[in-house]
Amino acid sequence: MDKLDFPESPLQLIHAPELDAAGVSLHVKRDDLLHPTIQGNKWRKLKYNLKAMKQARQSALLTFAGPFSNHLYATAMACKQFGIQGSAIIRGSQLDQNNPTIRFAKACGITLHAVSRQEYRLRNDPDYLTQLQHRFPDTFIVPEGGSNQYALQGCQELAQSLPESHFVCCAVGSGGTLAGMLDGLSDDSQLLGISVLKGAQYLDDEVQRLNPHAAQRTNWQILHDYHDGGYGKFSASLWQFCLRMRQQHALPLEPIYTGKLIYALWQLIEQGYFPRGSRIIAIHSGGLQGLDGLRYRNLI
């Protein structure tokens, strides 16, 4: 628990004729390379939660996750690496013991509690959380996906690690990564979020709830038309794009988060969305373990 600072992840410059034609540069912040398993925005969010847990002198951690969750995967390894007693409330009344994410979490030694979808909907309910606190004494509770005020500190740190650019772009699921990054960027940089959920205009309000400063900042927005069908859904063309980026640029992507982000940027660049001379940085938020889950379900 004393070694929570990993070496900073690298920036990868992408070379492509489409970028040259548009007169823009694109770097990818390879946060998938932060750690072999505790990577990307999930580590950024966990880092200060773990520090807060230590300061509170609590020895155990409890969180919430879907059965294929990147957050579950990263949290399980963090608990193993730092010797934390971990538990997770899992959506769904039964655990699929062959699910690769579930198998990994159990191998890391955390305890999984499957609950009905009805009970899982209570994960943010204050009374339910109070019941869990009594059921799991001396336990630090981290919300689903890890997005809370502690998470924002880690995402702000991510933004502060970046060189000056005109645009910083990230995938948006819960809004936590974008909300935290906003405080780490200068007003001269535009923060562009790509929603991976369909009909999720509420995310604009969620960012402002997580970070009240967002209401006064004018250098951010979320684009809602690049979800490719909705959360967990993706087209054959998006998956082929992910494969092409890996083959041509040595850039591994998955089609749920980072694939949608880079695919959206590619379309925006070809449409002339970014002024010529723009320096663009895209955040690779990790989540590559999700590919195993997609293969397991025969979706790729």
Read off the pLDDT of residues 38-74 as tens digits, 9 standing for 90 and up: 989 999 999 999 999 999 999 899 999 999 999 999 9
| Residue 19 shares a structural domain with residue 54 | no
Cβ 261 vs Cβ 245: under 8 Å: no
Residues 209 and 93 in one domain: no
Q: What are phi and psi of 238, to 5 degrees?
A: -65, -45
Q: Is residue 293 part of a domain?
A: yes
End-to-end CA distance of the chain, in Å? 37
Examine the residue annotation and report whether 69 is marked as an active-site residue of this protein: yes
Alpha carbon distance 106, 161 (integer Å): 34
Please state whether beta strands 25-30 and 11-14 pair in parallel, antiparallel, or not at all (unpaired): antiparallel
**To the nearest 10°, the Cα dihedral for 197, 200, 202, 204?**
70
Q: Do 134 and 239 reside in the same domain of the chain?
A: no
> What's the CA dihedral at 180, 181, 187, 189 to 10 degrees?
-160
Give the separation between CA 88 and CA 109, rounded to whole angstroms.
11
Asked if residue 284 and residue 229 are part of one domain, the reply reads yes
Instruction: Give yes or no for residue 156 having a pLDDT over 60.
Output: yes
Residues in CB range of 156: below 8 A, 6 or more apart: 180, 181, 183, 184
pLDDT per residue over 157-189, tens digit each?
Answer: 999 999 999 999 999 999 999 999 999 999 999
Whether 211 is in a domain gets the answer yes
Residues 129 and 27 in one domain: no
Is 3 inside any structural domain? no
**Distance separating alpha carbons of residues 165 and 46, to the nearest angstrom:** 26
Query: Which of 118, 142, 166 is the last residue in one of the domains?
Result: 142
SS3 state of residue 299: coil
pLDDT band (50, 70, 90) for residue 270: very high
Q: Say what the pLDDT of residue 5 is.
A: 80
* Three-class secondary structure of residue 85 per DSSP: strand
Whether the pLDDT of residue 1 is over 60: the answer is: no
Q: Is position 170 within any domain?
A: yes
- Asked whether residue 20 falls in the same domain as residue 116, the answer is no
Residues 193 and 293 in one domain: yes
* 68 and 133 part of one domain: yes
Task: Read off the pTM.
Answer: 0.94
| Alpha carbon distance 216, 93 (integer Å) | 43
**Cβ neighbours of residue 286 closer than 8 Å, sequence gap 6 or more:** 31, 32, 34, 39, 40, 41, 42, 43, 70, 74, 258
Specify the pLDDT at position 36.
87
- Backbone conformation region of residue 196, classed left if phi is above 0, alpha if psi is from -120 to 50, else beta: alpha
The span from the CA of 212 to the CA of 197, in Å, is: 23
Q: Is 4 a member of any domain?
A: no
Mark which of 105, 126, 142 sits at the end of a domain.
142
Place of tokens 């009594």: 134
Domain of residue 118, residue span: 40-142
Q: Which helix or strand (DSSP H or E) is residue 120 part of?
A: helix 117-120
Q: Are residues 73 and 179 in the same domain?
A: no
Residue 155 CA to residue 43 CA, distance in Å, equals 9
**Using CA atoms, how far apart are residues 201 and 127, in angstroms rounded to an integer?**
28
291 and 210 together in one domain: yes
Half-sphere exposure of 141 toward its Cβ, with a 13 Å CA cutoff?
18
Residue at which a domain ends, from 142, 165, 180: 142
The CATH code of the domain that includes 200 is: 3.40.50.1100
User: Which residue out of 9, 69, 87, 195 is catalytically annotated?
Assistant: 69
Question: What band does 6 get if pLDDT is binned at 50, 70 and 90?
Answer: confident
Residue 255 within any structural domain of the chain: yes
- Residue pair 285/257 in contact by the 8 Å Cβ criterion: yes
pLDDT band for 105, please (50, 70, 90 cuts).
Answer: very high
Number of domain units in the chain: 2
Same structural domain, 153 and 271: yes
Q: In this structure, are 245 and 124 located in the same domain? A: no
Tell whether 5 is covered by a domain: no
104 located within any domain:
yes
Q: How many CB atoms lie within 10 A of CB 283?
A: 28
